[in-house]
Structure 1
Amino acid sequence: MDLALWIATAVLAAVALLGGVTKTFLSKARLDSMEGTWTTVTSAGPVKALGIVELLAVAGLILPPIVGIAPVLVPVTATCWAVLMVGAMVTHGRLGQTRLVALTGTYLAIAVFIAWGRFGPAAFAA
């Protein structure tokens, strides 16, 4: 169980890192030019802020158990990511991006699995 949770955490952290770096460091014009992007319907500020939130999620998923400080932040971060993914699913749904709704739903499921596992059966020792 612990190995499965670490693998899921690594996958989710990689997704958050890619999204965070993309949203934080690419220009708004470049983001808008990508096919199927939602950034065309919002300004640059919220896009950059979301990128920073995603980079913080990477830290919240990986660093606490590695450094041994506040490992409860892992399931808390996963829960926050799940809430974020619900919002992303709504946004993609409103834009008619059904493939992205499904993909985001997968990220939601991974986050729920991590939150469940780290709050419950495979919680980090305090």
Structure 2
Amino acid sequence: MTIAFYIVAGLAALVFLAAGLMKLTQPKPALVEKGLTWVEDFPSSTVKLIGAAEVLGAIGLIVPAATNVAPALSPIAATALTIVMLGAAVVHLRRKEAPGLQIGLAVLAAVAAVLGFLTVI
């Protein structure tokens, strides 16, 4: 089950790291061009904060479990990312957009959390 955790957490970490870095490094107009039209509803600082949360969550998924330093933080990070993605799904529903990707990522993070709580702790 530990291998399953690392596979799921690694995949989730890659996705969240890429998405978070994009939000941190790109200005709002560039994000809109890439299809992230929801950023128009939020100030730049909020978009950067979301990006930072995703990057820190991605790091938190892997580093504590891999280094065995406070490994309980890995499933906690996965739980936090699940909450972030559920919030993203709500934003997309309010904008009358399909939240399929956000729900999928929430499920991926939730699976990482469950596997983490079962194996890492």
How does the TM-score come out when normalised to structure 2? 0.93
1:2 aligned partner: 2
In the comparison of the two structures, how many residue pairs are matched? Answer: 121
Please give the residue correspondences for 1:17-28 in structure 2 after superposition, counting only pairs within 5 Å: 17-28=17-28
Within 2, Cα distance between the matches of 1:88 and 1:3?
29
Within 2, Cα distance between the matches of 1:37 and 1:3?
37
1:13 equivalent to 2:13? Answer yes
Within 2, Cα distance between the matches of 1:10 and 1:54?
14
Return the offset for 1:66.
2.0
How does the TM-score come out when normalised to structure 1? 0.89
Name the SS of the counterpart of 2:37 in structure 1. Answer: coil
1:59 equivalent to 2:59? Answer yes
Return the offset for 1:119.
1.1
| Distance change (3 Å), C-alpha of 1:58 and 1:24 | same
Within 1, Cα distance between the matches of 2:111 and 2:2?
12
CA-based RMSD: 1.3
After the TM superposition, which parts of structure 1 deviate over 4 Å for at least 4 consecutive aligned residues? none
Per-residue CA distance 1:18-73 (angstroms, 9 max, x = gap): 11110000112211222252101111010011111111011101111222210000
Return the offset for 1:7.
1.0
CA contact (8 A) 1:36 1:97 kept: no
2:35 aligned partner: 35
- List runs of 5+ in structure 1 lacking aligned partners: none
Return the offset for 1:92.
0.8
Please give the residue correspondences for 1:1-126 in structure 2 after superposition, counting only pairs within 5 Å: 1-98=1-98, 101-120=99-118, 122-124=119-121
- List runs of 5+ in structure 2 lacking aligned partners: none
Residue 90 of structure 1 aligns to which amino acid in structure 2? Answer: V
